[in-house]
Structure 1
Amino acid sequence: MARFQDKVAAITGGGSGIGKETARRLVAEGAKVVINGRDKAKLEAAAREIDPTGRSVVVSAGDIADPATGAALVDRVVETFGKLDILVNNAGVFNPKPFLDLSEADYDWYLDTILKGKFFTAQAAAKAMKATGGVIVQTGSMWAIQAIGATPSAAYSAANAGVHAMVRNLAIELAPHKIRINAVAPAVVETPVYGTFLSPDEVASVLPTFDAFHPLGRNGQPGDVAEAILFLASDDASWITGTVLPVDGGVTAGRQ
């Protein structure tokens, strides 16, 4: 039997990159999935690509920075598929900018999307899982563990450090309800997020320069992180909670 047969999952940031690849793999292993993101057209295109029949993937559009969006996502999942087993709290934003240049609007953008968004979506999911148990997997960041001079990101890193701390706290609070929560902390992963602040030509020239930054000699791909998320979401990880798993090509281990 597939690992996720008869399981139901919600994925924020599910329209592209890590979230979309996670959705694809969950569906391939038997799950029903509701994907969230800000761009409804992009979500619908991703849903059609993953499941042309429309039976296994449903969309729920909205900005996760608004707690009502997370609540609506959970409601959509339960109304459509009858329950919620897995939340993949993956939505995030990234745009390196020096600390001395960061505005209050920049700060709010990171904290609201990354930390507030994951906090209240996890809360909505936990309420739905309280009676039956479940699993939450957050996408954190290697930048919350180490600072990288080439990509100044104080507010982004602080927000993700909050996500990591949330994982440890919720692991304790939610354990009595048989809800597990963990996070992955990726290093440089080649996803469309870089296209939000670099031109296509810049992405093509800049991203390869980070290959050597990783001891294993290459940037991550969405599938590298999706596979770690699936492990943490599966029964194979049934005795793991409160953990932040670096998925980083060896970066946090040290330097050559």
Structure 2
Amino acid sequence: MARFEGKVVAITGGGSGIGKEVAARFIAEGARVAINGRDAAKLEAVAREIDPTGEKVIISAGDIAVPATGAALVDAAVSKFGGLDVLINNAGVFNPKSFLELTEADYDWYLDTILKGKFFTAQAAAKAMKAKGGAIVQTGSMWAIQAIGATPSAAYSAANAGVHAMVRNLAIELAQYKIRINAVAPAVVETPVYNTFMTEEQVKETLPTFNAFHPIGRNGQPRDVAEAMLFLASDQASWITGTVLSVDGGVTAGRQ
């Protein structure tokens, strides 16, 4: 039997990259899915692609930095599919900029999207899961564990460190409700996030230069992170909560 047969999953940042990949995988393993993102048209296209029947996916568009957006996503899943078993708290933003140049607007963008967004979406999900338990998986970051000179990201890293700390705190608070919470901390994963601050040409030139940065010798792909998320969301991980799993090709272990 499929691991997620009959389960209901909500995913933030489901319009591309890791979120899209994990949504497709959940559907392939029997789940019904509610996906969030800022762009409704993009979400509709993803929904058609990963579920041509139109019966297993619903979309809930909006900016996750606004707490009402996370609540709306959870409400959509519960009202359409009858409950919520898993939250993949994945939405994030990234644009390296030196500390001395970071503005208050930059800071707010990172903290509101990455930390506040995950915080209140997790709260909405936990309220929906309180009666029968569930699993929350967050996308954290290797940058919250190690600083990388080539990609200055003080505010981004601080926001993700908050995401990691939240995992430990919520693991303790929510254990009484049989709700598990964990995070994955990826290194460089080839997703469209890089196209938000580089041209297609720059992406093609720059991303391959990071292959060697990972001891395993290659950048991550969305499927690498999706596999870890699916495991943490599944009953196979029923005795794992409060952990941050490095999915980083060996970066945090050390250097060659």
Is 1:189 aligned to residue 189 of structure 2?
yes
Q: Distance in 2 between the 1:42 and 1:187 partners?
A: 25
Equivalent position of 1:41 in the other structure? 41
Report the 3-state secondary structure (helix = DSSP H, G, I; strand = E; otherwise coil) of the residue aligned with 1:119. Answer: helix
Q: Distance in 2 between the 1:150 and 1:126 partners?
A: 37
Q: CA deviation at 1:107?
A: 0.1
Q: Distance in 2 between the 1:247 and 1:96 partners?
A: 20
Equivalent position of 1:174 in the other structure? 174
Equivalent position of 2:199 in the other structure? 199
Q: CA deviation at 1:26?
A: 0.3
Is 1:15 aligned to residue 15 of structure 2?
yes
Equivalent position of 1:239 in the other structure? 239
Equivalent position of 1:53 in the other structure? 53
Describe how 1:57-68 pairs up with structure 2 within 5 A: 57-68=57-68
Equivalent position of 2:210 in the other structure? 210
Q: CA deviation at 1:203?
A: 0.1
Letter paired with 1:240: I
Equivalent position of 1:90 in the other structure? 90
CA deviations over 1:218-241 (Å, ceiling 9, x no partner): 000000000000000000000000
Q: Distance in 1 between the 2:46 and 2:147 partners?
A: 33
Letter paired with 1:42: K
Q: CA deviation at 1:101?
A: 0.1
Letter paired with 1:130: K
Number of residue pairs matched?
256
CA deviations over 1:84-131 (Å, ceiling 9, x no partner): 000000000000000000000000000000000000000000000000
Q: Percent identity?
A: 82
Report the 3-state secondary structure (helix = DSSP H, G, I; strand = E; otherwise coil) of the residue aligned with 1:74. Answer: helix
Report the 3-state secondary structure (helix = DSSP H, G, I; strand = E; otherwise coil) of the residue aligned with 2:147. Answer: coil
Q: Distance in 2 between the 1:32 and 1:147 partners?
A: 37
Spell out structure 1 runs of 4+ moving beyond 2 A: none
Q: Distance in 2 between the 1:57 and 1:186 partners?
A: 26
Q: Distance in 2 between the 1:195 and 1:56 partners?
A: 29
Letter paired with 1:227: E
CA deviations over 1:144-187 (Å, ceiling 9, x no partner): 00000000000000000000000000000000000000000000
Letter paired with 2:163: V
Equivalent position of 2:227 in the other structure? 227
Q: Distance in 2 between the 1:149 and 1:141 partners?
A: 15
RMSD: 0.2
Equivalent position of 2:154 in the other structure? 154
Letter paired with 2:136: I
Q: So what's the TM-score if we normalise by structure 1?
A: 1.00
Letter paired with 2:112: D
Gaps spanning 5+ residues in structure 2: where?
none
Q: So what's the TM-score if we normalise by structure 2?
A: 1.00
